[in-house]
Amino acid sequence: MPTPPLKLALRTVQKTRDAVRGALLWGYEQRLARDVKAHGKLPRHLGLILDGNRRYARASGLQRELGHSFGADKAHEVLQWCLELGIPAVTIWVLSTDNTSRDAEEIAHILKLLEREARNLATDPRIHANRVRVRAIGQHENFPGHVLDALEELERKTAGYDGMQLNIAVGYGGREEIVDAVKRFLSGEAAAGRTLEEVAAALKPEHVSAHLYTAGTPDPDFIIRTSGEIRLSGFLLWQSVYSEYYFCDVYWPGFRRVDFLRALRDFQGRDRRFGK
């Protein structure tokens, strides 16, 4: 076994290495930030699929619920990064309609976090100083009343703001959104006295777009998904037809500012042709 002085020396060497790595990473991050800001091209609407909370907890030897808790904390941190860069619109996917079939204990914990974070955002000085308008999008009919109250309070307190548009996609599914949009459109046309044949003959893509949950927000330019999964899983299906995608291997709670800046730099280097 190493003698105590040798152990101490090894610890000192390790601390020195960690400090050097930290300093190098900090320097690299600062350079990335300068490059991203200097380029100037940023998404008008950034979509974030917050994936990997449970796997992060499992890999770290933590309880599953802690992964979701750390994920909620990370969302606050990433919101700050978006505010600093002046990104006009952000949609974060917190809970899908598919996720709601998970065991009751896990869903109850996620909803408890959602209520807590909604109440925190409603009083967050950053939200009000930056005039962030927050909307919860998705199907919430089966959520507990206290969760709905928290979401409604957050939306009400930020309804008149004209800064960043922050959409919190919870109880959200892309197919469900399109079906709901078509239903709302058809209901409006029926109320106006139009026949089904008249509606079908005149139907255009913009009629559906106008009734989506995200109506009034530009379609997402850029979508980031963490955890290494290479798929959208139904996120903003209609709106993402011309989106650029970026898939990051890191789990959401471990998503660093340097990862965020790398993604944005990658977006800035792309030539968007919109099918042309």
Please report whether residue 64 resides in a domain: yes
> Would you state the pLDDT for residue 3?
57
**Active site amino acids:** 51, 99
> Would you state the pLDDT for residue 43?
97
Please report whether residue 200 resides in a domain: no
Q: Is 68 annotated to bind ligand?
A: yes
Q: Which residues of the chain have pLDDT under 70?
A: 1-24
Please report whether residue 180 resides in a domain: no
H-type alpha helices, 124-192:
125-129, 145-158, 174-191
- CATH number of 229's domain: 3.40.1180.10
> Would you state the pLDDT for residue 10?
53
- Rounded to two decimals, the pTM is 0.89
Please report whether residue 198 resides in a domain: no
Local structure of 225: helix, strand or coil: strand
Contacting residues for 73 by C-beta, under 8 A, at least 6 apart: 253
Q: Is 266 annotated to bind ligand?
A: no
Q: Is 257 annotated to bind ligand?
A: no
- Does residue 171 come out as left (phi exceeding 0), alpha (psi in the -120 to 50 range) or beta? left
Residue 258 belongs to domain spanning: 44-173+220-268
Please report whether residue 182 resides in a domain: no
Q: Is 98 annotated to bind ligand?
A: yes
> Would you state the pLDDT for residue 101?
82
Please report whether residue 127 resides in a domain: yes
Q: Taking a C-beta distance cutoff of 8 angstroms, is the pair 213, 161 a contact?
A: no
Please report whether residue 178 resides in a domain: no
Number of domains in the chain: 1
> Would you state the pLDDT for residue 40?
86
Please report whether residue 261 resides in a domain: yes
